[in-house]
Amino acid sequence: MAPSSDVTKFQSILQKSRHIIAIAGAGLSAASGIPTFRGSDGLWLNYTLSDLATPRAFRKNPSKVWQFYHYRREIAGKALPNPAHIALALFSQPDQRKEIAPDAEFTLITQNVDGLSVLCSQMLFPSTDPPIIEMHGRLFETLCTQCGDRMPNRDSPICPALAGTEELVKSHAKERQISLEDLPRCPKCRGLLRPGVVWFEESILHDEEISELVDQADVALVIGTSSRVAPANLFAHSVAERKGTVAVFNTEPQGIGSAHFYFPGPCEQTLPRVLLGKEPDKMNGILQQD
């Protein structure tokens, strides 16, 4: 049966829900100016995953991989949360969702590494610990390949040798050959740093916590993801298998196989309406308020 787009019907399910999870992907940050992976402007269009987002790729050519991540850091570092991030941040606060889902707990499980969901929650609710799990790690963290130290790093550029290489990536020009010692180095042990993200063929972060949440969920919101990457693309199916409700928010009918609801269109418009009954343009002002 085709998924419904009946907002009132979905909101009556939220009224009775107890454990809601949201599974988000690159479409959540599209309106913030961050390119998605597989869309028409997709990041992976000009690159192959195995050249850039695997441990083997990094071992083979850390200079090329760092230029790709530096490019993404430079974009994400200038990006601001959009109404979709704001809607999820508001919904994550029990007092903000008490009309829509009075008895439910909520957790956002995001595949995104841009940090915008956490930033949005910190801007709106600085004293709360946001219910957000960043399962694919963080662009603005580094991991030392020698001592294993994981630390936050928002330096732009992260090291002098990477300065300006974002223009090469943007224009798909041949990347610069940067020597190992000029790549980001660990302040503790001088080891080579890597981006603090989860690459393909690496295990996701917080997998036990995620499994518990997925097993408990009676509603799954699937937001702005092509549902192409495992294990994130299995969560909604598992909720549907246990007779939970799955609602997809996507500009394209992707990942709707186990969906009961599909809200077509940009999530920066559909999420404020469906989750909070608010118009998207009312959301922007919220960030500007002191």
Question: Which residue numbers are catalytic?
Answer: 136
Question: Using CB under 6 A as the criterion, what x/- string covers residues 66-85 for binding ligand BV8?
Answer: --------------------
Q: Contacts with ligand BV8: how many residues (CB under 6 A)?
A: 39
User: Tokens 């699937």, residue?
Assistant: 222
User: For residues 46 and 289, which CB has a smaller minimum distance to ligand BV8 in the complex?
Assistant: 46
- Non-local (6+) Cβ contacts of 176 within 8 A are 63, 67, 161, 165, 168
Is residue 189 at the binding interface for Zn ion, with CB under 5 A as the rule? yes
Selected from 3, 25, 115, 272, the binder of ligand BV8 by CB under 6 A is 25
CA distance 161 to 270: 42
Q: For residue 235, what are its two tokens?
A: 């969560």
By CB under 5 A, which span of 20-28, 77-85, 179-187, 251-259 interacts with Zn ion? 179-187
Q: For residue 41, what are its two tokens?
A: 């402007």
Burial class (CB in 10 A: 0-12, 13-18, 19+), 145: middle
Does residue 106 contact residue 20 with C-beta atoms inside 8 Å?
yes
Is residue 136 at the binding interface for ligand BV8, with CB under 6 A as the rule? yes
User: Tokens 């740093």, residue?
Assistant: 193
Given the rule CB under 6 A, which residues bind ligand BV8? 25-27, 30-31, 36-39, 42, 49, 53, 111-113, 136, 197-204, 224-226, 228-231, 249-252, 254, 266-268
Given the rule CB under 5 A, which residues bind Zn ion? 144, 146-147, 149, 186, 188-189, 191
